[in-house]
Amino acid sequence: MTELLAPAGGMEQLKAAVRFGADAVYGGLCRFGLRAKAGNFDWDGLKTALEIVHGAGKRFYLTLNILPYDDEMEDLASDAARACDLGVDAAIVSDLGAFSMLRRRVPGLPLHVSTQANVMNAEAARVFADLGAERIVLSRELSLERIASLRKSLPQSVRIEAFVHGAMCMAHSGRCMLSDHLAGRGGNRGACAQPCRWEYTVTEAKRPDEPMPVIEDERGTYIFSAYDLNMLSHLPEMRDAGIDSLKIEGRMKTGYYVAGVTGVYRRALDLLARDEAAYRAALPELQRELRKVSHRASNTGFYFGSPQPSSGAEGFSQTMEFTGRILGMRDGCLLVEVKNRFHAGDTLEVLSPDGAHAFAVTDILREDTLERLDFVSVAGQRVLLPAGFSAGAGDYLRGPNRNHRMDMGVNADAGR
């Protein structure tokens, strides 16, 4: 059974991933992961996270994939041992020295090889397998054809993981130095400032007669910015290539994003397991659902050859806006914690694990006084909404994005 692996940048995202159908989550402590600006987990938070994940029959993989210095190795081993004692299901590691040390110092901790280790060939994969790797997260630059060939060269006990959705780095397997040079923040130390997403005017001094073509709009140019990855329409090909775990990128994303994307891929995988024809028939609706959460224009990455387009993705788009969290039910009404403005008379949707439920907002009632309101706009305010159906704590409320410029769409076959 193919595993669906979702990001958990913090507790809200972890709960969303579990509720909306992930088989496993990956997240980091406050150090030694590659997302220093994510919420992450302190030790008490990690203990709680493990209780939630294991209570739901899921798995938690701890990111320890920073490239460490010598003076950090002892603390890395200490944190890994403590996490192992708490019950993490595996650690994701990129540095060869850290991998070897943890195999020796924390033998009870299963190790996964991070995509940052840049495993591109079967020989490298076998080296890590011989060192004791239980799983290899492949380089993002591999095609499905090469993945299938590599899979045949490995023992079946070694699992293969690959990205299925989310933001892509413009550098080879994330080994980018732009942030170091331009912002003094090391991407391989967990502090990338994402300068590839900035607007640039580019000239090349040695080739003044060979201008680089740049597409420009009113927002500027995004010549270095990679397109997002979207492989929703190609899950059978990923399965047939021998990929055991499908990884959603996004430890810097919101709980709403994690819920929306995880829920779509859960539904798609469940349909595929039952009836491939039903899966294919559902794809247009599922792709529309993905466009309701924040995204850049997308392609299929390197899975079918070089990405097309290779770069130039501009800023984010989403057709729906996150307007509130569902806290539960009260007197037949949805109890909502407001996130963004909405009005009486709006048509909103409740995003639940089984899909979206649209309804018209007939009344907005203050939770404390039951006063009728024409609109709400204060984040954190709690209101009651008559809806005619039930929703659970952890569902999300959303409405049309009033600032939506355009539907950036999905180029699901780009690169083929």
Domain ranges of the chain: 3-172+228-299, 320-400
For residue 187, the model assigns a pLDDT of 53
* Element of type H or E holding 385: strand 382-386
Q: What is the DSSP letter of 392?
A: -
**Confidence band of 345 (pLDDT split at 50, 70, 90):** very high
> Rg (Cα) of the chain, in Å, rounded?
22
Q: Which of 117-121, 208-212, 252-256 has the lowest mean pLDDT?
A: 208-212
Single pTM value for the model: 0.86
For residue 203, the model assigns a pLDDT of 66
Does 3-172+228-299 match 320-400 in CATH topology? no
Q: Average of pLDDT values for 317-326?
A: 91
For residue 412, pLDDT beyond 70: no
**Confidence band of 32 (pLDDT split at 50, 70, 90):** confident
Crossing angle for the helix pair 255-274 and 11-19, to the nearest 10 degrees: 20
312 is written with which tokens?
Answer: 């130039």
Could you read off the pLDDT of 138-154 as tens digits, one per residue? 999 999 999 999 999 99
For residue 195, the model assigns a pLDDT of 63
The CA-based angle 225-227-233, given to 5 degrees, is 175
Task: Name the maximum alpha-carbon separation found in the chain.
Answer: 72
- 3-172+228-299 sits in which CATH class? alpha beta
Could you read off the pLDDT of 174-224 as tens digits, one per residue? 556 565 655 665 555 455 666 665 565 566 777 777 666 555 444 444 556
Q: Are strands 365-366 and 382-386 parallel, antiparallel or unpaired?
A: antiparallel
Which residue type does 191 have?
A
Q: Which of 35-44, 187-196, 294-303, 348-357 has the highest mean pLDDT?
A: 348-357
CA–CA gap between residue 154 and residue 147 (Å, rounded): 11
**Confidence band of 155 (pLDDT split at 50, 70, 90):** very high
Q: Quickly name the fold that domain 320-400 has.
A: Elongation Factor Tu (Ef-tu); domain 3 (2.40.30)
Higher confidence at residue 237 or residue 30? 237
For residue 15, the model assigns a pLDDT of 98
Which residue type does 323 have?
T
For residue 193, the model assigns a pLDDT of 62
CA–CA gap between residue 275 and residue 39 (Å, rounded): 39
Q: Average of pLDDT values for 379-386?
A: 97
- Residue 217 has phi, psi (to 5 degrees) of -125, -165
Could you read off the pLDDT of 60-115 as tens digits, one per residue? 999 999 889 999 999 999 999 999 999 999 999 999 999 999 999 999 999 999 99
CA 26, 29, 33, 36 dihedral sign is positive
